[in-house]
Chain A
Amino acid sequence: MVPSEIDREGDLESPVSRDLCLRAFRWMILARVLDDKLASLYRGGKIHGGVFLGRGQEALSAAAGVSLRRSDVFAPLIRDLAGRLGFGETVLDVVRTYLGSALGPMRGRDGNVHRGRPRQGLLPMISHLGAMISVANGILLARRLKGVTDSVGIASIGDGATSTGSFHEALNQAAVERLPLVLVVANNQYAYSTGNERQFACRALIDRAPGYGVEGCTVDGTSLVECLSAIGQAVARAREGRGPQMIEARLLRLCGHGEHDDAGYVNAELKAGAIGRDCLKLAEEFLRGRNLASPQQIGQWRREAQATVEQAVAQVQREPGPDPYAEEWCALSGRKLADPAQV
């Protein structure tokens, strides 16, 4: 008999439903397949600008995506493909933005990970780290002012972003306003090439949570069920009105900062250790070991993901890029306010 709830070794604080686990796992597969395809296109010279993968962080990211409702808010960062997909971003939006299709949400005006659909609660990150947290705060505060009280926002950042002033200002702000914000910190040990020992001096990043007056917990970022349990619980607490929640997930980035980076600086011991395990493999082993999904089923999901990705890439490669002669070149929505020097 297949259990409907998973409580691994009885050590999860809140049990995870089988259905949620399998949904998250499928987004992990799709994200990995799509990331691999994007990396391949990059190496083939088919992508302008950078490619930034989420390899090794899919469990955490997918857990964030599926823990939200579509009416919630998600402010992803660069390694959140799995979470974006789980939250509702389409494969076409991803591919169109990377390939610069005029039909994508950013229409060639912005690229790669800088994409979103703000009206659907998916925020388009700017490159300045930590800057999206207060924007998520603003949406949550506005909803409260409008009388919408059951919304939650997840903002995703890395270990490096915790060093920014924006992170500090926004987490403090969320705590002062007691906003339903879940801050998910993917501590992947490196901010580009800079290791944690040059990034912060506190014992653990999660030690900062009580300093801001927010609840916090750490989680093994390589374990899908643990991520689902921790984020699910944090989201539930935020929705109940317990204020901001912070999660520090410990994991390792299993790729370069971007595909231009061979990540030769990553410590070999970390790679060989528990933190360096591939969350996707671990999740597959776990699901198979518990008879939650058969190898055949998993193989089928992977083939479906590959077909989806190949079809999207084939379609987008035939789409037009932006036309500089048709471009309005106006950064204001009120076009009559455009400065005459620019039009």
Chain B
Amino acid sequence: MSVTYLEAIREAQARALAEDSRVFIYGQDVGAFGGAFKATKNLAREFPGRVMDAPISEDAIVGLGVGAALEGLRPILEMQFADFSTVGFNQIVNQAATLFWRTGVPCPITIRLPCGGTSGSGPFHSQNLETIYSHYPGLVVMAPATVEDAYSMLLAAIAIDDPVIFCEHKLLYYHLKAESLPAEALPVGKARLAREGRDLTIVAYSAMVHEALAVAAQLATEDVEVEVVDLRTVKPLDTDTVIASVARTGRLLAVGESWPWGGVTAEVVSRVAAEGFNLLDAPPVRLNSRDTPVPFHPSLWKAHRPTAESIANAARKLLRQ
């Protein structure tokens, strides 16, 4: 038996619904239909009245979630696509994210954002928005790369008393498989060493971890040992694990799928430069998507985001420095 990344997300929600009567799911088409990606398949039937279709109103979806959280419930809010969360942006960053700090009353909501491009999805069904949510105080931002993390981190997100932006990558939904669901997990906020190496550190998260691992495998044939750090949560960012890795390798390549201006990779490079400058044997490098909307056509889409090929090129260049 194997379980996909998407099934892990479905199973985490099923378990949360079964174990905690405070949990409910609210979002577009999540009810009888089971969600646009089937992340809530059969949950409405298994948990009657607790998996509710919402009107196409992201602002009101998040606002309702905040109110329900105030009343002691644990809403899971599905944005059909991460891109549409911008319609609910105000409620996320100004209502949910400020509530605890302003009033001392926690706001335990989990907002699921199906992120990332798949070929043919175009500018409005492909975005990676972890950067903008990380910029705001009061939010925890997760970007799991593995089936195990998709499951355990979603359960953790629901249990956390603060608003969590859960960035799940659509490209991983179907093809990423694990043998079984995990029984234990790293703590939230702790990065994972996805592969050990001594020549170069690639810091990545979400789908980019798999591109980085492919690069590591490829460069191993060229006698280069690449270490891959999977951030898991981008906020909080596990600076210690990143710097410890750079201390071993002396070289840093930070890879992210969101846009290049600012963002997670800039934050990683900035922290290493500020706190571990003397550990670096070469200037740190960032690789992101291109600074345009996400293109529709497969040939453009593949060239828009970092891939194993472009990461490997950047890594080789960095190793020559």
Contact = CB atoms under 8 A, between A and B. Distances in A.
**Same complex:** yes
Interface of A: 105-107, 109-110, 114, 116-119, 123-124, 126-128, 131-143, 145-146, 165-166, 169-170, 172-173, 176, 330-334, 336-342
Given A118-B103, A124-B103, A334-B161, A138 B239 contact: no
Nearest to B100: A333
B140 A337 contact: yes
Contact of A110 (B61, B97, B102, B106): B102
14 contacts: A117-B103, A118-B70, A134-B60, A137-B67, A145-B49, A170-B60, A173-B57, A332-B162, A334-B140, A334-B160, A334-B162, A336-B189, A339-B235, A341-B267
B240 A340 contact: yes
B204 interface: no
Contacts of A336: 189
B63 A134 contact: yes
A119 B106 CA distance: 10
A142 B271 contact: no
A105 B67 CA distance: 19
Contacts of B63: 131-135, 137-138, 166, 169-170
Contacts of A146: 71-73
B170 to A, nearest CB: 25
A93 to B, nearest CB: 12
Interface in B139-181: 140, 160-162
Interface stretch (B88-96, B212-220, B297-305): B88-96
Contacts of B293: none
A132 B64 CA distance: 9
Given A116-B103, A339-B235, A339-B237, A131 B138 contact: no
Contacts of A337: 140, 160, 162, 188-189, 236
B65 interface: yes
A338 B90 contact: no
Given A126-B98, A131-B90, A331-B98, A137 B64 contact: yes
A77 to B, nearest CB: 15
A132 B138 CA distance: 19
Nearest to A109: B102
B201 to A, nearest CB: 18
A141 B97 contact: no
Interface string B46-76: 0001100011010111111111111111010
Given A142-B73, A331-B100, A137 B236 contact: no
A173 B55 contact: yes
B66 A138 contact: yes
